[in-house]
A and B are shown apart, each in its own frame.
Chain A
Amino acid sequence: MEFSSRWRQKHARLAGDRREQYPHSLQFYLEPPTESISLVEFESFAIDRLKLLKVVENLGVSYARGTDLYKTKLETELRKLKFPYRALAEDDYEARRKDHISHFILRLAYCQSEDLRRWFLQQEMDLFRYRFNELTEYLMQKFLEHVNLSFEAIGEDLKNELANELSTSTPGFNMSKVKEQMFYKVGLADAVDLFRARRVFIKDGFAYVPFKEIDVLVLNNYRTKLSKALALTARSLPSIQSDERLQPLLSHLSHSYVGPDYSVQKNTGKISLEQIDALSVKSFPLCMRQLHRALRDSHHLRHGGRMQYGLFLKGIGLTLEQALEFWKKEFIRGKVDADKFDKGYAYSIRHNYGKEGKRTDYTPYSCMKIIMSNPPSQGDYHGCPFRHSDPELLKQKLQSYRIPPSGITQILELVKGMHYQLACQKYFELTHDVDDIGFSLNHPNQYFTESQKLLSGGRELKKEFNNSGNFQQKHNSQESINSRSTPTSSNATADTELEGLEAYFTED
């Protein structure tokens, strides 16, 4: 009797043979998990994977993928969060199970919109690429067999016949390299990225791919499968959302800020204190401009304002020494004397930089966090002006900043519709005199970075294609400049249950 591998897996699950169920540390997530798990495990698995994907995204921003530093840091994170790293054979079952289940849970949360799907797909692909490339050649072959992607290697005779073409058409492959490496004959559909960029020899509808580029093919395949799966999942969403136990968690997961956290400052020390006044007018989002103004005027800020503004300044590159000097100079002008500053306020600034107490390096607040938590009271200047200011006062402030009346009207409309981040985007457009902000705003430091980029001429304008002959389709070839556009559901009605979950995301 011949048993198929699928039968063996099912049977293994029932018989409790855990190794059969996850024969590889890597998988394509083709079959959803069928066991029962507790809600606690459901939640913790999901959160851990989200943390992992955030790290994947951040590392991708800060380091070139594939470099040693990138790989070491990602491996550390995988181990910390107890996901599979390196293709360990034995005690990996728990990690593989967690990997499997958490992926499927996040699919539920991230299938809901185009932005969310795109973000999820991007991070999962980066994660997969890393894990695949960490496999040994032998394990790669075994994995490819397992997922029925055994690409056909061409024989020596054919390779010799094509040696010249292979060498001239494959970048980085001289004749000797062609001779020593395996080449695979695959259909064009399997090698789209390589074919499009002319990185492989093609003939008669087939591409001849060197072993070195196999990961591109595998990733291609993975992307196609995951993309389809996400679209399918989105269609079955209504039934999932009706489950009261899951709905709050899933919606919180996709609400949380998942963009770069600006804790790795590439520009540390590049800003001088003298520049801050001018920068606050040109490149600060309205919330930070307001905080800076209040600080200058009253020589003081309360705790909420110190946190929001202080972390923002850290994010734009202020060193600890600069921060201490900045706050001290200002506070001394007020009612605070030098001694009191050093004893009290200095401590908390050092705390923000991770030099005291828990030594956690705090991350600057995202728009989501500023809008949804810790609303300001009388005498506070933190929060989001579009969310927390009285519309009349907001209008006056914008007028004093010489925003044109038509622009102010547009902003107020957006505020009325509770689109606070869009209102801020409009503020960006009006103060920078551009038609289209060119990115999706999710973080004050992102506002600053983009503003600086624009003012220093380092950004191309977004072009809209409109093929006049094509009445039948809306060709939307807009390419997002910030390809890591962070997806958030723009439902700004605060859910107080979010507080507990937010705690997972403030510190890294």
Chain B
Amino acid sequence: VKNYFQLREFSFTLRDDVYLRFQSFGSPQELERELQKINPYKIDIGAVYSHRPNQHNTVHLGAFQPQEKELVFDIDMTDYDDVRTCCSSADICSKCWTLMTIAVRVIDRALVEDLGVRHRLWVYSGRRGVHCWVCDDAVRKWSPALRAAAVEYLSLVKVALTPPAQHREPLQAEFPRKKDSAQRWELLRGRAERARAAGRPCYPDWEVMLQFCFPRLDINVSKGLGHLLKSPFSVHPKTGGCGV
């Protein structure tokens, strides 16, 4: 696509919450100059449009449309608040970050093996999660419906966690005797594995694992072509953390 860079939307948020959308630039140098001049608080990247975004008001209604955009995913640590006890909301630590790592690995495998994706960038959001930018040519042209389908494909419905009846009582009796959750987990897992070895379908351990670790995605971030997402390698306004 000719003029690819010129058709890309950027958005800046200025210090006093002034929000500038549909910014576009003739060249990377021009972007750099503008950044230095304006010094925005926050930088977002949007889609590649049919016309230069900074001229969208001159185009008649309906003709100014997003043409392509990277497929993006946002995994937010606050979505895991119900299964982490070390932190909550915007706090993160090395313990709960493991959940994030697991989610990243699950999604990455699915992207590569199932969706046939090659070019993806995983980047820390700067505060409490990660973003993934999928840049394959074909994927950039995906419709909103297809993007939403990808998120749904990667999402799992929450199932109620109850071990089968015959296990519940003995487990409940023994749990208090165990020193910590690691031991309790081993107990549960041992029971389940033994049941399976004896030919009985019994998966409470897997259900717990899925419940805790399966990726939790926000469909609204991924679905729309016009959606804006924080630029990788930029500084997060609230934490000062850099997204790499």
Contact = CB atoms under 8 A, between A and B. Distances in A.
A474 B76 CA distance: 21
Interface of A, secondary structure class, is loop
A203 B113 CA distance: 6
A471 interface: yes
Given A188-B115, A235-B62, A472 B21 contact: yes
A104 interface: no
Contact of B115 (A205, A235, A477): A205
Nearest to A235: B62
Given A472-B226, A472-B227, A192 B114 contact: no
Interface stretch (A43-51, A119-127, A194-202, A211-219): A194-202
B153 A195 contact: yes
Interface stretch (B142-150, B164-172, B185-193, B207-215): B142-150
A242 interface: no
Given A465-B220, A472-B21, A192 B115 contact: no
A196 B114 CA distance: 12
Nearest to A477: B220
B218 A467 contact: yes
A176 interface: no
B152 interface: yes
Contacts of A198: 153
B163 interface: no
Interface string B18-29: 010100000000
A205 B148 contact: no
Given A204-B116, A235-B62, A472-B11, A196 B142 contact: no
A204 to B, nearest CB: 4
B156 to A, nearest CB: 10
Contact of B142 (A189, A197, A473): A189
A470 interface: yes
Given A189-B142, A202-B114, A205-B115, A473 B149 contact: no
B130 interface: no
Q: What interface size band does chain A fall in?
A: 20 to 34
Given A188-B115, A189-B142, A192-B146, A473 B19 contact: no
B117 interface: yes
Contacts of B142: 189
Interface in B170-217: none
Contact of B148 (A189, A196, A203): A196
Secondary structure dominating the interface of B: mixed
Contacts of B227: 470, 472-473
Contacts of B75: none
B114 A470 contact: no
A467 B222 CA distance: 13
Nearest to B44: A472
Contacts of B152: 196-197
A198 B149 CA distance: 10
A470 B220 contact: yes
Contacts of A70: none
Contact of A188 (B46, B113, B146, B148): B146
Interface in A442-482: 465, 467, 470-473, 475, 477
Interface in A304-357: none
Contacts of B117: 205
B145 A192 contact: yes
B89 to A, nearest CB: 13
B224 A196 contact: no
Looking at B62, B146, B148, B226, the one whose CB has the most chain A CB atoms below 10 A away is: B146
Nearest to B62: A235
B228 interface: yes
Nearest to B220: A467
Contacts of B218: 467
A127 to B, nearest CB: 22
A130 B224 CA distance: 32
B72 to A, nearest CB: 13
B59 to A, nearest CB: 15
A362 interface: no
A475 B153 CA distance: 21
Contacts of A472: 11, 21, 46, 226-228
B20 to A, nearest CB: 11
A206 interface: yes
A477 B46 CA distance: 21
Given A196-B149, A465-B220, A204 B113 contact: yes
A206 B218 CA distance: 24
A189 B146 contact: yes
A188 B146 CA distance: 8
Contacts of A475: 220, 224
Contacts of A465: 220
Contacts of B11: 472
Nearest to A234: B62
Contacts of B62: 235
B125 to A, nearest CB: 11
Interface in A473-503: 473, 475, 477
Contacts of B114: 202-204
Contacts of B143: 189
Contacts of A470: 220, 227
Nearest to A223: B145
Contacts of A204: 113-116
B224 A473 contact: yes
A471 B229 CA distance: 11
Contacts of B149: 188, 192-193, 195-196
6 contacts: A188-B115, A192-B145, A195-B149, A196-B152, A204-B113, A205-B117
Given A192-B145, A465-B220, 20 more contacts: A188-B146, A189-B143, A192-B146, A196-B149, A197-B152, A198-B153, A203-B114, A204-B113, A205-B115, A205-B116, A206-B116, A467-B218, A470-B220, A471-B19, A472-B11, A472-B46, A472-B227, A473-B224, A473-B226, A477-B220
